[in-house]
């Protein structure tokens, strides 16, 4: 199946042991139901797992590489749509890369993209490098992955203002643990947040960044700092408070026999009233106070701190415990079901 | 004559595209078949979702057990009762053949825990047919027979997922062919089509919807809620009636008519008439539509020839709901199958249309009467208000008198006035009587005043003239011509035939017509007197 990413043991562990317990906890404790937007993949593995909690799915599927049997490259999309119907969950699937559709507001079929309801789970499973651009069908126009995330947050804010719904939402960001060393260096040298700088200084002393080439799974700390700092900037306007969960590292399915170290970040977000408060980013000093987690090939989670992170070996990683420790602000005003 | 039996090798695979292409020329007709199955399955909720490459039709109907699912795969054989269901020919499930690559039907009956999946690999069938054509073009004998073709591409199995819930069915057509999507991508067209297929509820913007739906419930006529999604747009569909189709928002409540002949009960009709005496503007809505199980039979012009006054077909809207089991729609839904019941139904239609004619006519006559009364009441109020100012204006009073006579005649002509607004009519009559009395009294009073004035003038003149006229002068005075032309001639004031003719007209048609003889004579004398003084 060209273009279909098969599920690795690490990915399954992230989905089943990291994402699911949090989603189920919020669902069972606070009655939260989910509107899902993202890249579920043709097999809709996560949607299947959470289907009893999901009310609606907005999916994106890019064309498979055209071949003789499928000259239009629609097979994956058709299959995704078919699978979505079979699951019996209302929803729609757009044809094309999510980044392009979100920014150009139209899919390959000319179907208009719009977000009219608040999304409660973003599953941004890019399977690729976060710092890359992608080509679009508009000649010469490229879009950045981060640009798309920014646009999605703006859409979310618009929907929040129009619907007035409770604004708690979860962002699941999965990227390839890979980035150009030079690009990362540019970011690190370009006035990062002072917390970030402190973290970077510690990490650089033990695991310095090479001057050139790509870092592949070896400098998670750099990507973590880059991602955390960028998301914090994007959340500041439109005024979103965010609870950053530990980074989860895992091995994805190798492509062309090259290993695929992956990097998963779960963020719980909530819109704040811009008149009343400044957005809150929790935990304070996230980079240095929260250790990373590894989802290993045997399908369980363990702490796997990066340089500059604490060693939490005493307690097994649990997103629900983490939420209970740091998430009070985000759950403020929410009624427990029992 | 020896008899030759058919074998499975006497029916080639080509029969499938021949049948489906012939029956379902339009993509929407194919979609209709699946929606029709959902309606026939006694569902009350249907969801139709159309994407560029996938179409699904989901219902909460009775669903199918294993045997029924197996039976549904058969070609040209149906378990459905033609007297109870619209779709009963056993072809419909194959209508997606020209639409999509893969057709799946997930179905579950409430009595069965298992969800069954009917699987139709139409792409494979089409491919096999192409291969067979190529094979035969090389001169080889046919070997692709319908039985083998279906065995390879059509099967039923147990599904490992349940998209339908407790009971119901879900049809999924995936790998939609591009032409099919182009046809299904038009919201208005698909909506209009489905409105003619599904017994939808009434639009909340139609004020008489609840009343008619209550009648539906009493008559055991089911409505089915349908949600349509095309791309991003998702809306519930309704019957096409809203208050806006009527000129004034729909003043008249609907009327219901039973349709029967002797012991045969065909169904009932609900009818709304426009609230202006004109055709309903929206040509898609005006006229009556015959429906069976939500399916429209022919169009809204079908019944027009049966109306004694066709204008009432165009001024009304509504539906004829057929409930008689023997009235069976034909395949094209253009009429009913020809049978004795249809014949009797057609013979009954003039009776129905006469009743509608008569009801609509009565309503519109009453409407007309109300309009006249409203118009005259307004005018009478204006007249009454302006009367004091006209008390000394004889000419206006005379005109008003004529107008009041006219109003009186119009009030008498509107025979329905007393039935539609007795109190309003009484008020108008009181206003009319009051105005007439006022005008009459004012004219009379003026006449008396003029007479009195005349007498006073004569007396004054007589008092002022010490000398009584001599007999000659008196004779002369008496002999003075007593009309306008003669007076003017005496003073040589008329020059030219045209002026003379105009003056003759003024004299004859105006002065003599409007003045009584005494007044006229006085006026002529006064004129003479003025001329004598001036000239």
In this predicted model, what pLDDT tens digit does every residue of B413-441 receive, in sequence order? 777 777 778 888 888 889 999 999 999 99
Confidence of residue A16 (pLDDT cuts 50, 70, 90): very high
* B169-192 b/e (C-beta count within 10 Å ≥ 16 → b): bbbbbbbbbeebbebbbeeeebbe
Share of chain B above pLDDT 70, in %: 88
A65 and chain B in contact, CB less than 8 A: no
Integer CA distances (angstroms), A311 to A13, A314, B490, in order: 21, 8, 138
B43 vs A2, residue with greater confidence: B43
The predicted pLDDT at position A264 comes to: 93
In this predicted model, what pLDDT tens digit does every residue of B51-91 receive, in sequence order? 888 999 999 999 999 888 888 776 655 665 555 555 545 56
Which tokens sit at B39?
A: 């309606």
Task: Average the pLDDT over each of A155-164, A329-338, B27-36 and give the range with the smallest value.
Answer: A329-338
The predicted pLDDT at position A236 comes to: 85
CB-nearest to A88 from B164, B175, B176 is: B164
* Distance, CA of B122 to CA of B105 (rounded, Å): 13
Q: Is the pLDDT of residue B187 over 90?
A: yes
- CA–chain centroid gap for B338, Å, is 29
* Residue B163: exposure state from Cβ atoms within 10 A (0-12, 13-18, ≥19): buried
* Distance, CA of B198 to CA of A245 (rounded, Å): 51
A314 and chain B in contact, CB less than 8 A: no
In this predicted model, what pLDDT tens digit does every residue of B303-348 receive, in sequence order? 999 988 888 889 999 999 999 989 988 877 889 999 999 999 999 9
Q: Are strands A91-95 and A54-61 parallel, antiparallel or unpaired?
A: parallel
> Are B172 and A86 in contact (CB < 8 Å)?
yes
A155 and chain B in contact, CB less than 8 A: no
Chain A residues inside the 8 Å CB shell of B163: 85-88
* Distance, CA of B480 to CA of B93 (rounded, Å): 110
The predicted pLDDT at position B354 comes to: 93
Rounded mean pLDDT of B346-359?
A: 93
Q: What is the average pLDDT value for chain B, to the nearest integer? A: 85
* Distance, CA of B177 to CA of B164 (rounded, Å): 25
**Which is nearest to A232 in space by CA: A165, A146, A158, A303?**
A146
In this predicted model, what pLDDT tens digit does every residue of B485-519 receive, in sequence order? 888 888 888 888 888 889 988 988 888 888 888 88
* Residue B439: exposure state from Cβ atoms within 10 A (0-12, 13-18, ≥19): buried
> Are A88 and B52 in contact (CB < 8 Å)?
no
Q: Is the pLDDT of residue A284 over 60?
A: yes
Do the Cβ atoms of B91 and B214 come closer than 8 Å? no
The predicted pLDDT at position B466 comes to: 61
In this predicted model, what pLDDT tens digit does every residue of A123-169 receive, in sequence order? 998 766 666 677 777 777 777 778 888 899 999 999 988 887 777 89
Q: What is the average pLDDT value for chain A, to the nearest integer? A: 85
The predicted pLDDT at position A2 comes to: 41
Q: Tokens 């941004």 map to which residue?
A: A124
The predicted pLDDT at position A222 comes to: 86
B5 vs B186, residue with greater confidence: B186
Shortest CA distance from A108: residue in chain B? B52
CB-nearest to B163 from A74, A87, A93 is: A87
A63 and chain B in contact, CB less than 8 A: no
* Distance, CA of A181 to CA of A222 (rounded, Å): 9
B162 and chain A in contact, CB less than 8 A: yes
Q: Tokens 């998670």 map to which residue?
A: A220
Spell out the residues 6+ positions from residue A194 whose beta carbon is closer than 8 angstroms to its own: none
Do the Cβ atoms of A54 and A33 come closer than 8 Å? yes
Q: Is the pLDDT of residue A178 over 90?
A: no
In this predicted model, what pLDDT tens digit does every residue of A48-59 receive, in sequence order? 999 999 999 999
Rounded mean pLDDT of B150-171?
A: 88
Longest distance between any two alpha carbons in chain B, whole Å: 144
Rounded mean pLDDT of A270-299?
A: 85
Chain B residues inside the 8 Å CB shell of A78: 53-54, 174-176
Do the Cβ atoms of B247 and B275 come closer than 8 Å? yes
B509 vs A337, residue with greater confidence: B509
* Distance, CA of A182 to CA of B487 (rounded, Å): 123
**Which is nearest to A39 in space by CA: A85, A86, A88, A100?**
A100
> Are A111 and B175 in contact (CB < 8 Å)?
no
Chain A residues inside the 8 Å CB shell of B231: 92, 111-112
CA dihedral A93, A96, A97, A101 (to 10 degrees): -80
Q: Is the pLDDT of residue A253 over 50?
A: yes
The predicted pLDDT at position B478 comes to: 58
Q: Are strands B116-121 and A301-303 parallel, antiparallel or unpaired?
A: unpaired
Spell out the residues 6+ positions from residue A51 whose beta carbon is closer than 8 angstroms to its own: A87, A88, A89
Shortest CA distance from B173: residue in chain A? A82
The predicted pLDDT at position B287 comes to: 94
Share of chain B above pLDDT 90, in %: 35
The predicted pLDDT at position A3 comes to: 45
* Distance, CA of A279 to CA of A234 (rounded, Å): 11
* Distance, CA of A302 to CA of A318 (rounded, Å): 10
- Cα end-to-end span (Å), chain A: 45
The predicted pLDDT at position A291 comes to: 92
Q: Is the pLDDT of residue A84 over 60?
A: yes
Rounded mean pLDDT of A258-283?
A: 85
B185 and chain A in contact, CB less than 8 A: no
- The ipTM of this complex is 0.74
Task: Average the pLDDT over each of A298-302, B144-148, B230-234 and give the range with the smallest value.
Answer: B144-148
């Amino acid at each position: 199946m060209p273009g279909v990413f098969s599920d690795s043991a690490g990915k399954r562990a992230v989905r089943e042991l990291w994402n699911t317990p949090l989603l189920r906890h919020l669902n069972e404790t606070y009655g939260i139901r989910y509107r899902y937007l993202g890249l579920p993949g043709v097999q809709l593995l996560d949607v299947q797992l959470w289907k009893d909690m999901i009310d609606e799915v907005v999916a994106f599927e890019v064309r498979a590489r055209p071949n003789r049997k499928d000259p239009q490259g629609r097979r994956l999309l058709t299959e995704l749509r078919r699978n979505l119907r079979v699951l019996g969950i209302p929803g729609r699937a757009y044809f094309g890369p999510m980044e392009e559709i979100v920014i150009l507001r139209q899919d390959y079929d000319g179907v208009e993209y719009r977000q009219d309801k608040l999304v409660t789970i973003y599953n941004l499973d890019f399977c690729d490098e976060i710092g890359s651009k992608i080509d679009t069908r508009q000649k010469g126009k490229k879009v950045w992955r981060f640009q798309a995330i920014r646009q999605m947050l703006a859409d979310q804010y618009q929907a929040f203002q129009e619907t007035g719904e409770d604004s708690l939402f979860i962002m699941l960001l999965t990227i390839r643990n890979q980035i150009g060393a030079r690009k990362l260096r540019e970011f690190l040298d370009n006035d990062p947040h002072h917390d970030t700088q402190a973290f970077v200084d510690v990490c650089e002393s033990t695991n310095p960044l090479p001057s050139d080439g790509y870092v592949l799974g070896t400098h998670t700390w750099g990507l973590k700092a880059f991602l955390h700092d960028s998301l914090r900037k994007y959340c500041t306007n439109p005024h979103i408070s965010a609870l950053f969960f530990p980074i989860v590292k895992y091995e994805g399915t190798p492509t062309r026999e090259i290993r695929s170290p992956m990097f998963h970040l779960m963020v719980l977000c909530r819109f704040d009233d811009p008149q009343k408060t400044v957005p809150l980013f929790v935990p304070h000093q996230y980079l240095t106070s929260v250790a990373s987690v590894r989802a290993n090939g045997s399908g369980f989670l363990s702490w796997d701190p990066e340089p500059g992170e604490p060693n939490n070996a005493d307690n097994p990683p649990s997103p629900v415990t983490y939420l209970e420790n740091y998430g009070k602000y985000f759950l403020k005003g929410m009624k427990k079901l029992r | 004559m020896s008899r030759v039996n058919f074998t499975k090798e006497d029916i080639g695979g080509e029969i499938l595209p021949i049948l489906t292409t012939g029956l379902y020329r339009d993509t929407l007709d194919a979609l209709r078949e699946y929606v029709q199955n959902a309606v026939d399955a006694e569902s009350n909720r249907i969801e139709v979702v159309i994407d560029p490459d996938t179409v699904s039709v989901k219902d909460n109907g009775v669903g199918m057990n294993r045997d029924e699912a197996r039976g549904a795969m058969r070609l040209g054989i149906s378990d459905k009762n033609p007297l109870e269901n619209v779709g009963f020919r056993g072809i419909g499930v194959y209508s997606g053949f020209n639409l999509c690559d893969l057709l799946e039907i997930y179905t579950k009956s409430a009595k069965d825990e298992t969800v069954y999946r009917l699987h139709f690999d139409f792409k494979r069938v089409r491919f096999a047919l192409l291969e067979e054509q190529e094979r035969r073009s090389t001169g080889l004998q046919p070997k692709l027979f319908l039985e083998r073709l279906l065995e390879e591409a059509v099967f039923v199995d147990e599904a490992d997922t349940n998209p339908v819930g407790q009971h119901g069915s879900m049809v999924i057509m995936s790998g939609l062919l591009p032409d099919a999507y182009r046809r299904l991508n038009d919201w208005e067209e698909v909506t209009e089509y489905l409105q003619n297929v599904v017994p939808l509820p009434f639009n909340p913007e139609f004020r008489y919807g609840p009343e008619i739906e209550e009648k539906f419930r009493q008559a055991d006529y089911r409505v089915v809620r349908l949600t349509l999604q095309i791309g991003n747009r998702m809306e519930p569909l309704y019957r096409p009636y809203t208050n806006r189709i009527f000129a004034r928002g729909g003043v008249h409540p609907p009327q219901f008519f039973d349709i029967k002949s002797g012991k045969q009960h065909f169904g009932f009709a609900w009818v709304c008439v426009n609230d202006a005496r004109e055709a309903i503007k929206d040509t898609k809505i005006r006229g009556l539509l015959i429906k069976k199980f939500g399916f429209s039979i022919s169009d809204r012009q079908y019944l027009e020839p049966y109306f004694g006054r066709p204008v009432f077909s165009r001024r009304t809207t509504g539906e004829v709901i057929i409930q008689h089991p023997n009235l069976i729609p034909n395949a094209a839904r253009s009429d009913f199958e020809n049978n004795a019941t249809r014949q009797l139904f057609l013979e009954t239609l003039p009776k129905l249309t006469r009743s509608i004619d008569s009801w609509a006519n009565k309503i519109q006559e009453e409407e007309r009467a109300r309009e006249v009364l409203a118009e005259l009441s307004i005018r009478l109020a204006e007249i009454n208000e302006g009367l004091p100012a006209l008390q000394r204006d004889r000419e206006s009073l005379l005109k008003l008198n004529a107008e009041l006579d006219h109003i009186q005649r119009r009030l008498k002509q509107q025979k329905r006035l007393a039935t539609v607004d007795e109190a309003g009519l009484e008020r108008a009559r009181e206003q009319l009587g009051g105005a007439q009395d006022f005008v009459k009294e004012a004219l009379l009073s003026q006449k008396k005043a003029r007479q009195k004035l005349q007498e006073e003038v004569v007396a004054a003149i007589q008092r002022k003239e010490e000398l009584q006229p001599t007999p000659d002068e008196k004779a002369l005075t008496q002999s003075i011509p007593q009309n306008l032309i003669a007076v003017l001639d005496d003073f040589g004031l008329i020059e030219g035939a045209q002026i003379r003719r105009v003056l003759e007209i003024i004299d004859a048609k105006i002065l003599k017509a409007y003045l009584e003889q005494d007044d006229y004579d006085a006026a002529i004398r006064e004129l003479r007197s003025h001329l004598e003084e001036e000239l």
